[in-house]
Each structure stands twice: as structure tokens, then as C-alpha cells.
Structure 1
Amino acid sequence: MASVERFKYSNRVVIKSILGRPDGGRGLAGERVVVGGWVKLFKEKPKKDASQAPPPASAPAVVSVAHDLTCSEVLMSRMPLLRNLARIFGKGVSSMPPPPPPPKQLEIADKTPVEPVPTVAFLLVNDGSCVANLQVVVDSNMVLLVQVMAIGVSILVEGVLEQQSEPGKHIVELKAEKILHVGVVDSKNYPLAKAKISLESIRPSPHLRVASITRMRSDVSHATHRFFQNMGFIYVHMPIITTTGFKDHSRMFQVTTLFKRTDDKGELSTVSDRENISLEVVKGAIREKSKRVDELKRSDSNKEVLLAALGDLQKANELALQLEEQWRSAYAAKMDFTKDFFSCEAYLSVSTRLHLESYACGLSSVYTVGPVFQANDSPSKKQLAEMWMVEVELAFAELEDIMNCAEEFLKFLCQSILDDCLDDLKFLSKKVDKSCITRLQSLVTSAFARISYTEALEHLEKATDKTFKTKVEWGINLSDEHERFLVDEIYKQPIIVYDYPKELKPFYVHVKDDGKTVSAFDIIAPKGGVLVRGSRKEERLDIISSRIQELGIPKEQYDWYLDLRRHGTVKHSGFSLAIEGLIMFAVGLEDIKDAIPFPRTCGYINA
């Protein structure tokens, strides 16, 4: 008989170590274990050997109850029908009394003894380690079953694993012998009380949203380290606060403590509350409008009402942006940043790629995983204010080298999800997108088509039977509909688009000999859109200096960066991949807010 694997840091056994075995846990039958988890589903049945003699018809309804239990608790513990009615009408259990003694006879007024009907609860319990639930059998003589029969209740039980005698969904079940802990739930207010819930309905409770997608994120992070460590890359940590800004400061979060500083009169030293109140009012309205949109999505309201609410929210966001720009122009000049925490202007990092170059120019091949921030007010379902990014930089690498690395890395991640999260994918294929598994398999086995930006435009221009919202002409950014047409209609597989117009990419991207295009690329996948963005960096000091001047970027901010070109410069290239974007593609999610536990977007932050 196999030995059960206990969790190292407690006495309990992880459910995955039982049900995740090739035999489904059959080889562990007879093992005594302690299991903890949360109740996902439940049902109650009379014990097979229970005597169900009904009370005499003439017996009056006078019941003697033990002094430490309420009358309603005893009645519900003895009569399953009352428990069902209590759940239907929202009667929750707010606290757990001490475990009751073995069932006693109920005494009716005429002293005729009536035996209670013994019952058994079948609880499907999950501890988050896997998709599968372990069936736990609890006898009514151990605990008031009404306390454990509610979705979300946590239990810690000790018992013996038994093989199911009857063929069914569960190969083994746990016959409980001791109840070590019960964490009760207020069923009336518990957001997950229903057996079936939508992603939209649970979004306002991010602290309760876990399981399959979170396990998948964990696997992607682990696979990232496996891939690069096996390839000889060095993992480095990057700062999230930087003085290096971009031309468009409105897309960056500024970090400052000046607003908390007060003068001798106790007033704000820079901007008064009165001067800032209109912007705060608008931001408050944005929060309310965002809640309204979420409510309409959850209630399946008609599309016209939802579209009107979305339009209203977008107008509020645009107004807030205008007020912020006015505020910046009116008051930024009054701020004395020498008195700020960092003694200068500082921002949350939009990307760590520039800092990563400094490591690549000393360590050759490096990567990092961490959060990046972008103050983008777009209502797009593909954008977040805070995202987790994998960023990579290779010294002595040109554009083709980095494209090869990015393609292999993306395929490695997708294969890892298929290998390690197949049960989660099967579950999500039923709940979200039935084609998610085949889509991942297709990406792993496909040879990515590689086309230039100019070739992509030629395909779009030839599509005379297709009308695009954005006019197709050289120099435009490829829109979502352009990308979808290329991967879904033309190539029917992932593609790599490279050699973009110089104006579409940042100043640090390598300028090609034609002077019009740069060595940049995007990996675009069906349903997922752009999953990877990368480029070769400009190593020539004169070229990158002229690009900085062209764009009007303060050169002094990048003096440290230009040193990389002054001292032992090398050709180097890199790319970035957003974990949320990959999860969205893998699962088939419609909204990127469902790909991260605590989403932050314009006008929306919860917890």
C-alpha cells in the first residue's frame, strides 16, 4: 500500500497529493489523514441502516431541548427538510456552538420516545491545490450538519480514506472521524454562495477570487524561471520607481509626497483642497459610473443601456484627463521638487527595459519579472494600470536572435500550461472558452509566420471585401481589427510582424539603413492579439542622441543610459511579455481584469 504524502509544515494532507495520483487515490485507501479545505457542494442523505419510524400522529409538538442549543438548531439538526428550508430562505449560521453530544431521544408530552433520524452529509471539499474536490462523509452524530452544509464553510477533519464501493465520480472518499475545525459562513452575504457564478459577478470581490487562473499564473511564473535558468540567463531585480520619464508624462504615475506637506497654518503648501476639488468630484463620479457599468454587466441588461453607460464613463474619464492636464500646467511650475522625498520628479516605471540594458551590458543575458504601471485611461478590456511583465535583454544579439528567443519562450510557456494545468484548462473550457486547449496546442505546434510591417499592410490593402474602421496606410498603428484579420483570415496562425515605421516605436529602437523603419517586432496570436513586443536597441551614440533631440526628450534624464553607448557598447536586443495578456489568450477571457487577482484600471480599484 502506498504511503500518503503529508504537507511538510503541518499535519494535513494536500488534496492534490491524494486525487492527483495516477490511480486517483485508490492506492491510499485505508490511510488515516487530516484534510482541510472549503465546502464547494454538499448533499445530505439518511443513513442506510437508519430506522425511520415516524412519531405517533397524536403526539403533541412539545420538544425538550438541551440547554446549550437553541430550539431551531436542534430541530434543523434532526429534520433535514427544515435545514433545506432555512437555506432557501437565507437563514445563515453566524457562530458555531460546541459539538453536540450523541443524539438523544426527543421526549414528547406523553413520554413516548421517538428516535431521531440519523443522516450523513456528503461534502465536496477543495483546498485550492487542484481542480478536483475530495468527498468528505460526515455523520450527524459528530456535528450539527447545518453548520458544515454551506458553500464556503472551511473544515479541518481527520478520518480514513475509503475506496468507493459503488462506481461513480469519486474513486476515494474521506470518512470523517473527528471534526477539528469549522469556519462558518454568513450564507446571506457570502458572494460565492451560489454553486454557479459568472466572472463578472465575482469581480467586485477580488479577495475571494482564486483557483484555476491563479494556479495558471503560478505555473507561468515558474516556467519563466525554468526556461531562462536552463538557457543560462541571470535573474535580476529592477526598480519600480524611476526618474526616467517619457515625452507623454500623462501616461505615467507620478510619485510625490508634496501634497501631504503643510505650512505653518496647516494648509497644503502646494495646492489647496478648493483648487483640487473639481478633479476629485470627477474622479468620484468615475468610481460610481464604473460600479454602474459592472452592475449592468452582471445583470445582463440590454446592450443599449450598457453602451450608454460605457459612453458616459468614457466621457467622465476624458474630462478627468483634461482636468489633470490643466492642473499640471497650472500648478506643476509652483512645485519645488527639491523638497520632495527624492528631491526630484519621480514616476512609477512603465517598463524596466532601459534599466535591464545596463545589466545586459555587464552580464550578457538577463531577465526580470515584476510589476509595471501605466496611467492609461482607455476603456479597453485589454489594458490594466498595473501589470506583471516578463522582460528580457540579450547582449550580442540582433533582431533575428531575439525573435527566435521570444518565439521559443512563448511556446515553452504554452506547453507548460498544457502539461501542468490541463485539469484547470478542462474546467475553464467548460466555463469560459471550449477551444482554449486546442488554441494552445496549435500555438505550440505552429511555425510562426514572419512578415514585415509593409507586407502586413499589403495584405490589408488587398482585402477589398473587408471594411476597416481605421484607414489602411503606411505609418498607422495596426489596430485590433487589423491584427485579427491577419492572424484569423490570412495566416490562421501566430505571426511575427517586424520592421515598423520609426515614428511608431520608442527612441531607443535601432534605426535601419533606410532611415524610415526600425528593428522592432510584435508576436500576434489568434484571439490574444499582441503577446510579445521586442526590438533591437540602438547602440550608436550619434543616432540615439539625434532621436532624443528629435522627440524633444530631456537629454539629461538619459545621460546614464547613454553611458552604455559611450563605454564598451555592444549590439543588444530584448522583449517583454505581459503575464495577464498570456493568461487572457490561454483561457479565452474577454476582460483582462479576470486575469489578475486584484485588477487596477482607470476608475476601478477594489481592495
Structure 2
Amino acid sequence: MASQEAVVAAMVTPFKYSNRVVLRTILGRGDGGLGLLGVRVVVGGWVRSAKEVKKEPAVVVQPDVGSSPLPQRDVSCVEILQTRIPFLRSIIRVLGGGDSYPPHREKTDIVLPKLPSTVFLQVSDGSCVASLKVVVESTIASPGQIMPTGTCILAEGVLKLPAVEGKHAIELQAEKILHIGTVDQEKYPLSKKRLPIGSLRDFSHFKPRTTTVASVMRMRDALTHATHNFFQNNGFLYVQVPIITTTDAEGFSETFIVTTLLGKSAEKVEPKYVHEIEGVSLEALKAAIKEKSNLVEELKRSDSNKEALVAALRDLRKTNELAQQLESREELHPGASLNKADEINFSEDFFSRQAYLTVSGRLHLQSYACSLGNVYSFGPRFRAERHESMKHVAEMWMVELEMAFSQLEDAMTCAEDFLKFLCKSVLENCMGEINFFSKRFDKTNVDRLQSIISSSFERISYTQAVDALKQVTDNKFETKVEWGISLTEEHETYLVGEIYKRPVIIYNYPKKIKPFYMRVNDDGKTVAAFDVVVPKAGTLIRGSQNEERMSMLSTRIKELGIRSEEYEWYMDLRRHGTVKNSGFSVAFEHVVLFATGLVDVADVIPFPRSYGKANN
């Protein structure tokens, strides 16, 4: 018997750095915890819901004369008094006066001790979807303190079978409450049940207490581990690329400027473009930003002229810089305007030159691939885009890799293997969460994940994709299909959902719609780039074989009007010991969206940052 108890105790070993048992170790068992009946544990968590059941007072029944005596039990004075209150009130009224005396009102309300009760709490500690029922007697803790949603409790007790059959296989009969973290119900944002997930975005610090967001984070964690496992198991080295860079990896991205000059003095707050404008007002700049933003959005929707989009983005970025720095100047000197005399001197800045938050780490990774062979990185990337989107926010995490001595076909094969590995891993390790999302949001997500694992990805060229879409007669696309455009989400959805009915890898895109560093094909019109497109989620992976020819790379930089001095270090990789290389990048949040069935990227990021929104 002692050895059996020791085995059971080993199954519920407390967390190494505290004395509590994580609920997953109890509720995640195949028997739902039934094998742990009678085990004493300490659990901690937050109350999801609560119910209080009052205990009715016992009523004393007098036996009839001559009948056999009833079994006797102890009766408290309170219980006797409660059964005699109507009779006592009648005596008081009779003795207190009659018709010849004015009525004398006595206060007859008697404040009695509250009746004992039992509180049933649904407690979660975030380790799994399921919650544990914790039974607490009112003699142990005040129901008013422990019942509000969000209350934190630490309880010690024994695991028992529920008194009433229900969805719970086991419950904890609390014997001690070791800690209570009370909640102000009037101010606590999660007091209401089943809040829409969109309403939680303003409370990023509380939203992981919900079942939905907690499940997202556990799946995100599993996908993070799977990402590292895939690359570590396949001979890649993990390299951390810089968050602050002096290079725009794509050549035309909207970047965040990093500077320490703002706020130091009025003379150091002026933008580098000030010599082009005199006496401009902040209102005029804001109006210009709105107009230029509309132009950018129109060009993005049409995707018909990549060069015009690049120019418009550059112009918008320049105007944004002016407006941001003029706002900072006006905070110091209200009413001040830009003038020709004061221009930022970035040589006096922290890095002695203009720097940005990185939008991609692929260029930096290529320098390490040219020395170490196969490398990958996993970290945050930043884009200062001012429009709202369910697929993009200002800060997103990217998985990026580069492989030396590899070409386009190699990168496409690696991308397919990587995506299949992620789907298999999440099905093996997060079935509880996946079932939750299937019931709550998307009934097809299990089949969708399994189809990725079992499918053979269709590989088609961009030209083949355009030709297939042109032959569609039963569907009218918002953006006209013609060679040279960027394929929109509706085009990609139709390709994978209606034409090929499986994941598709599209390769050899027009060079005008892809970054400068991608290898130009022999036709001179396309580059060795590819996108991996899957049902519902659209494009999850973007990759390419990179241009290793010095002359061709220089030509591409000139064609796009990029400042070549920013890329001298990158050109050095082609000057000295060049090698054919390829790689790809994965928007990690898009993979999480695909796995969960959710639709807004802000719901799968712990603390989303988007235009006008950075609450904490």
C-alpha cells in the first residue's frame, strides 16, 4: 500500500519552484484525474465561475405521544430560534398592548448569523483548457471574497469524486485556503462571461486569463518549440540578427526611425528633409499624409504598378518623418514652424548615422550563411504602416533562414517540410486546444492541419497561375488578372480552394514586384522567388534564391533607385567568396492564425502594436 501511495504521489509532483501542483498534471491525464483520488495537493489559479449553495436549517419534529421515539441529534440554538421566530413575534404583539393603549412599535427584525453554505469554484491556472472544480465551505473562506470572477486562490485539499455527476471527473475538497487575491468587480474588465475576443484587445494584460487567449498562447508556445526543433534537427545554427539596422532589407519598406536627438533641444528636432520645405505647418503635413496614404492604399489594392507603389511609399515615409519631428518641436515650442536653418545632423546621433528598426533579417543572415552554411533566426520585425489590417500589425515575429550552396528548388522543399512539421507537431501536442477552437471558432481546423501533412504541394510558376486564373469564367475577381500584377488574396484563395484543392507553391514572379536581392532568371523578366499558399490562410511563406552575381545586383539597385551606399556591406558578400544561396521567411503569427482558425493577427500576439494603438 505504501509503495502504491508513493507511485501516485510521484504522478503529481509539485512544480519545482513552488509547492503547488500544475492543473495540467491532474486534468491532462487520460482518466481525467480519477487515478489520483484521495491524494492531497495544493493548487492555485484564477476563478472562472462560481456557484454558492446555501445549507437549509434543520427543523425539529416533535414525536406523537405513544409513538416510538425518533433518533435524537444535537440541535443548535440558532436553528431552534429560527423555527420559533413566528411564535415569539405573536407573543410580543399580545403583551405589548391592546385597544386601550396606543400601539407600541418594537423593532422585531433580528440579525442572525448567515446560514452556512458551500461554494463551487471553477479554477484555471492557464496550463490547460480544462478547469478544476474546487469545493470550499463558507467556514473556511468568505464566499463574497472567493466567488468573483478573476479572484486568485491557493487552496490545499484532497481530490475526490464529485458529489453530483457532471462534466468533471474529479474535484478538490478544499481544507485550507492559503491565499486570496480579491477582485474589484466594478472595475475588473473580465467580470462578464463570454466576452467577444475583439473587446479584449484593450486589456492585453488581462486577456490571457480567458480560455481563448490562454489556448492561443499554449499553441504559440508549441509552435515556437517546433520551429526550433525543426531547424536544430536539420543542421541549422540559430543566429540572432539585429533589431536596429541601417539597411532597409527590401529597399522600399515603411520603417521606424531610431534616434536619440528628439527632445534634446529645438535645434536638433528638425528632419533631414527640411531644406526642401520652408514655413510648412503641421496641419498641412497631416493633410498631405492622408492624401498620400490614400494613394498608397489604392496602389496596393490594384498591385498593377510596383514601381509607382515604391515611389509612393518612399514619399509617404518622408512626409511622416517631417510630421513626427515637427510634432516633437511644437511640444517644446508651440507655434514653431520648420525653417531652413535647423536640419538634423545624424552624425551627432547615437549611431552617427540614420538607423531603423529592422523589417527583415534575411540580408544579415546571408552574411552568416556565407560562413556557417545553414542558419536561421526567430524574432520581432517592424513595419511603420499606417493602415489597419487583420493580417498585419506594426510588430510581428518572423522565422527566417538562409542556406549556402542551395538554389530555388532546395528552398521550396525546405519550406514544405517545415510547414508539415509544424502542423504535425501541433496536432501531437495541442489536441485539447485544437478541439476547443474547433468547437468555438472553426470546425474545419483539424482537417485543415491534417491535409497539410498528407498533401503533396502543387508547384506552379507565376505564369501558370495567371493563365489558370484567366480561364475562370464562373467567378469575377475584383482585381483583373493580367501578367505582372501581384496576386491578391482572392486570387490565391481560388487557386488553392477551387483549382488545385491543395497547398500551392508559386514561383518565378515578375521582378518588378519583388525585392532587389532576388536572383534574376534567364528570361530577364522574372526572379527566382516563391510563395507557399495554403487554404484559408493564404500565403504563409515567402522565399527566394538570392542574387549572387555582382553586376546583376548592382543593376537591380540602380533600377529601383535605392541608395547603394547603404548596401556596400551586402555587396561585399558578392565581391569576396560569393556563393549561390537561398532562403525564406515565415510570418509566425500567420501560422498561429492558421492553426487556431482565428482571423485577426492582433488576437494571437501577446501585446499587439498597431497604428495609434500601444496600450501597454
| 1:504-532 deviation digits (Å, cap 9, x = unpaired) | 11111111111111111001111101100
Corresponding residue for residue 51 of structure 2: 43
Asked if structure 2 preserves the Cα contact closer than 8 Å seen for 1:243 and 1:345, the reply is yes
Q: 1:336 to 1:114 in 2, by over 3 A?
A: closer
Q: CA deviation at 1:204?
A: 1.1
Q: 1:349 to 1:127 in 2, by over 3 A?
A: same
Alignment of 1:197-208 (within 5 A): 197-208=195-206
Q: 1:276 to 1:347 in 2, by over 3 A?
A: farther
| 1:6-37 deviation digits (Å, cap 9, x = unpaired) | 10000111000111112211111111111110
* Structure 2: 5+ residue stretches without partners: 60-78, 90-105, 209-213, 291-312, 327-337
Q: CA deviation at 1:604?
A: 2.3
| Equivalent of 2:30 in 14, 22, 29 | 22
The 2-side partners of 1:150 and 1:346 are apart by 49
Asked if structure 1 preserves the Cα contact closer than 8 Å seen for 2:56 and 2:115, the reply is no
The 1-side partners of 2:223 and 2:136 are apart by 38
Asked if structure 1 preserves the Cα contact closer than 8 Å seen for 2:373 and 2:404, the reply is yes
Q: CA deviation at 1:588?
A: 1.9
With 532-541 and 111-120 compared, the bigger mean Cα shift is at 111-120
Q: CA deviation at 1:345?
A: 0.6
Give the partner amino acid of 2:363: L
TM-score, structure 2 normalization: 0.80
Q: 1:525 to 1:111 in 2, by over 3 A?
A: closer
How large is the RMSD of aligned CA atoms in angstroms?
3.0
The 2-side partners of 1:59 and 1:372 are apart by 78
Q: 1:57 to 1:472 in 2, by over 3 A?
A: same
| 1:210-245 deviation digits (Å, cap 9, x = unpaired) | 201111111111111111111121111110000112
The 2-side partners of 1:403 and 1:113 are apart by 78
The 2-side partners of 1:535 and 1:247 are apart by 13
Q: 1:331 to 1:251 in 2, by over 3 A?
A: farther
Alignment of 1:93-492 (within 5 A): 116-164=114-162, 166-210=164-208, 211-245=214-248, 251-262=254-265, 269-270=269-270, 277-278=282-283, 323-324=319-320, 327=323, 334-492=343-501
Q: 1:341 to 1:282 in 2, by over 3 A?
A: farther
Corresponding residue for residue 302 of structure 2: none
Corresponding residue for residue 92 of structure 2: none
Give the partner amino acid of 1:547: R
Secondary structure at 2:377 match in 1? strand
Q: CA deviation at 1:284?
A: 14
Corresponding residue for residue 68 of structure 1: none
Q: 1:49 to 1:436 in 2, by over 3 A?
A: farther
Q: 1:110 to 1:554 in 2, by over 3 A?
A: closer
Q: CA deviation at 1:431?
A: 2.2
Q: CA deviation at 1:163?
A: 2.6
Corresponding residue for residue 42 of structure 2: 34
Secondary structure at 1:605 match in 2? coil
Q: CA deviation at 1:168?
A: 2.2
Give the partner amino acid of 2:354: E
Corresponding residue for residue 8 of structure 1: 16
Q: CA deviation at 1:556?
A: 1.8
Q: 1:215 to 1:275 in 2, by over 3 A?
A: farther
* Structure 1: 5+ residue stretches without partners: 61-107, 286-316
The 2-side partners of 1:261 and 1:359 are apart by 38
Q: 1:120 to 1:568 in 2, by over 3 A?
A: same
Corresponding residue for residue 57 of structure 1: 86
| Equivalent of 1:558 in 567, 582, 595 | 567
Asked if structure 2 preserves the Cα contact closer than 8 Å seen for 1:159 and 1:174, the reply is yes
Q: 1:128 to 1:532 in 2, by over 3 A?
A: same
Corresponding residue for residue 332 of structure 2: none
Q: CA deviation at 1:377?
A: 2.2
Q: CA deviation at 1:109?
A: 8.1
Secondary structure at 1:192 match in 2? coil
The 1-side partners of 2:339 and 2:391 are apart by 33
Corresponding residue for residue 304 of structure 2: none
Q: 1:268 to 1:561 in 2, by over 3 A?
A: closer
What's the % identity of the aligned pairs? Answer: 51
Corresponding residue for residue 95 of structure 1: none
The 2-side partners of 1:181 and 1:284 are apart by 54
Give the partner amino acid of 1:572: N
With 244-253 and 406-415 compared, the bigger mean Cα shift is at 244-253
Give the partner amino acid of 2:320: E
Q: CA deviation at 1:132?
A: 0.7
With 338-347 and 318-327 compared, the bigger mean Cα shift is at 318-327
Q: 1:268 to 1:422 in 2, by over 3 A?
A: same
Asked if structure 1 preserves the Cα contact closer than 8 Å seen for 2:146 and 2:180, the reply is yes
The 1-side partners of 2:561 and 2:112 are apart by 90
Q: CA deviation at 1:115?
A: 6.9
The 2-side partners of 1:354 and 1:215 are apart by 31
| Equivalent of 2:531 in 522, 540, 562 | 522
Q: CA deviation at 1:326?
A: 5.9
Corresponding residue for residue 589 of structure 2: 580
| 1:108-139 deviation digits (Å, cap 9, x = unpaired) | 98899967532110101000111110110000
Secondary structure at 1:212 match in 2? helix
The 1-side partners of 2:157 and 2:280 are apart by 66
Q: 1:249 to 1:455 in 2, by over 3 A?
A: closer
| 1:520-570 deviation digits (Å, cap 9, x = unpaired) | 100111110110001111111111121112222222211111121122221
Secondary structure at 2:262 match in 1? helix
Q: CA deviation at 1:260?
A: 2.0
Secondary structure at 1:174 match in 2? strand
Q: CA deviation at 1:605?
A: 2.2
| Structure with max Cα Rg | 2
| 1:139-193 deviation digits (Å, cap 9, x = unpaired) | 0101111111111000011111113354321111111111111111111121111
Secondary structure at 1:150 match in 2? coil
Q: 1:58 to 1:214 in 2, by over 3 A?
A: farther
The 1-side partners of 2:42 and 2:146 are apart by 17
Asked if structure 2 preserves the Cα contact closer than 8 Å seen for 1:258 and 1:270, the reply is no
Q: 1:122 to 1:542 in 2, by over 3 A?
A: same
Q: 1:283 to 1:604 in 2, by over 3 A?
A: farther
Q: 1:281 to 1:561 in 2, by over 3 A?
A: closer
With 205-214 and 597-606 compared, the bigger mean Cα shift is at 597-606
TM-score, structure 1 normalization: 0.81
